[in-house]
Amino acid sequence: MTTDTVLDRFLRYVQYDTRSDERSDTYPSTSQQLVLLEALTAELRALGVRDAAMDEHGYVMATVPATTSKASVPVIGFIAHVDTSPEMPGAGVTPIVHANYDGRDLVLPDDPAAVLRLADNPALQDQFGHDIVTASGLTLLGADDKAGVAEIMTAVAFLVSHPEIAHGTIRIGFTPDEEIGRGTLHFDVTKFGAAVAYTMDGGDVGELESESFSADAMTLTFLGFNTHPGYAKGRMVNAIKLASAFIAALPGDQLSPETTDGREGFVHPYVMQSGVDRTSVRLIIRDFEDDGLKKKEEMLETLARSVVSRHPGASVQVAIEEQYRNMKRVIDGCPEAVAYAADAIRRAGLEVRSRSIRGGTDGSKLSFMGLPTPNLFAGEHNFHSRLEWVSVQDMEKATEVIVHLCRIWEERA
Ligand SMILES: [Zn+2]
């Protein structure tokens, strides 16, 4: 096991079915995740990481002890999630290594319609000569985030077999249920004990993300009045029509996921539960600024109230839940977390690609729990798709960046 490459590990991990399940009320949401988490614990121990252990929630934590004589080196952590998206089949993944990519179509054998084409995947332009791993056409691959798990494990194996490399205490965390938004629910930041951590869960090589969306959810419940439709004249108020009028009044050419990118936020209705008496609309609201969130929420509420004001007897209830906040606010308080990561990426011979995540990561939550956690590239592409892919050479680079980062924190202390 100590001579395993990042590819060996990755090919092993993707064969575990670790889908999480939003409908479950256990933690972790599926017991199959524990099978991989258990195996990772055993693998860490086999590498000589003696304190590796899984807690009652399934979190695996472990320590690579410091090799430096400096006492002032902060403890840093690396985190990856083991679960895969419940939106796609994840059992029976058959990984395929397409050696020496040359721009050809990569046909996935189990589904002739599943073809990875350069024309549809501009990121493949940077992969000529690399080895590309895909699934076989019927499942996702699980590079999100087993690429991150394999990279961290390989960096650990490298560090423990090279005690001459000076670094501080390194903490490792493997977590369940990220894909259903519960990855940090029981994560014990105090027990983890790091000053800074990095999630290895990003895409393009060189990527460094220290900013995420701020996110709220909103439920608008339109209340009408139901009565026998044959005798409803002048009395019935149909809540389905109220909600439809509200949806129809949303801006058509802006503020939606399908019309925004870059730093623009959006509002997005995604579930409706309809009845004549009461119809509720669930929306998510996203913006990089908390102020922008608020403005969007006020706009939605005004719109909903103006719809019901035209119908005597109709009303609307508004409920807002906070989901997560832009982690930049916390990470800005620890500028070296980002600066050292950028240095590590450059030291690996790569260009730094600083990006804002149009979504959230476990790092967004961890940052507000007191652990500043930027996100680094793991090499994943086409997340949650049967066309998901990762390149072996990108995974090797990510592993190298982890090792450089451990050294840089020691050098600068
Ligand atoms: Zn992920």
- The DSSP annotation for 88-125 comes to S--SS---EEE-S--S--EE-TT-TT-EE-GGG-GGGG
Which of the four pLDDT bands, split at 50, 70 and 90, describes residue 224?
Answer: very high
Crossing angle between the packed helical segments 6-13 and 392-411, to the nearest 10 degrees: 120
> How much is the pLDDT for 252?
87
Rg of the chain, C-alpha, whole Å: 24
Report CA(209)–ligand 1 centroid distance (Å): 13
Report the share of the chain in percent with pLDDT over 90: 96
Report CA(77)–ligand 1 centroid distance (Å): 17
Global pTM reads 0.89
Q: Contact, 145 vs 201, CB < 8 A? A: yes
Which of the four pLDDT bands, split at 50, 70 and 90, describes residue 2?
Answer: low
> How much is the pLDDT for 249?
96
Measured from the Cβ of residue 300, the count of other Cβ atoms closer than 10 Å reads 23
The Cα–Cα gap between 220 and 304 comes to 8
Q: How many helices (H) and strands (E) does the chain have?
A: 10, 17
> How much is the pLDDT for 226?
96
Residue 331 has pLDDT above 90, yes or no: yes
Residue 1 has pLDDT above 80, yes or no: no
Measured from the Cβ of residue 25, the count of other Cβ atoms closer than 10 Å reads 6
Report CA(178)–ligand 1 centroid distance (Å): 7
> How much is the pLDDT for 360?
85
Residue 107 has pLDDT above 60, yes or no: yes
Q: What is the mean pLDDT of residues 322-337?
A: 94
Q: What is the mean pLDDT of residues 48-64?
A: 97
* pLDDT tens string 207-222: 999 999 999 999 999 9
Report CA(378)–ligand 1 centroid distance (Å): 9
Report CA(81)–ligand 1 centroid distance (Å): 7
* pLDDT tens string 237-260: 999 999 999 999 999 899 999 999
Report CA(121)–ligand 1 centroid distance (Å): 19
Report CA(220)–ligand 1 centroid distance (Å): 30
Enumerate residues 6+ apart whose C-beta is below 8 A from 373: 79, 196, 197, 198, 199, 327, 331, 361, 362, 363, 366, 367
Report CA(83)–ligand 1 centroid distance (Å): 8
Residue with tokens 């719109």: 303
> How much is the pLDDT for 333?
95
Residue 77 has pLDDT above 90, yes or no: yes
Residue 32 backbone class (left: φ over 0; alpha: ψ -120 to 50; beta: rest):
alpha
Structure tokens at 295: 């403005």
Report CA(281)–ligand 1 centroid distance (Å): 28
Q: Kindly tell me the burial class for residue 357, based on how many C-beta atoms sit within 10 Å of its own C-beta (0-12, 13-18, 19 or more).
A: buried
* pLDDT tens string 166-184: 999 999 999 999 999 899 9
> How much is the pLDDT for 119?
97
Which residues are part of the catalytic machinery?
83, 178
> How much is the pLDDT for 248?
97
Residue 351 has pLDDT above 80, yes or no: yes
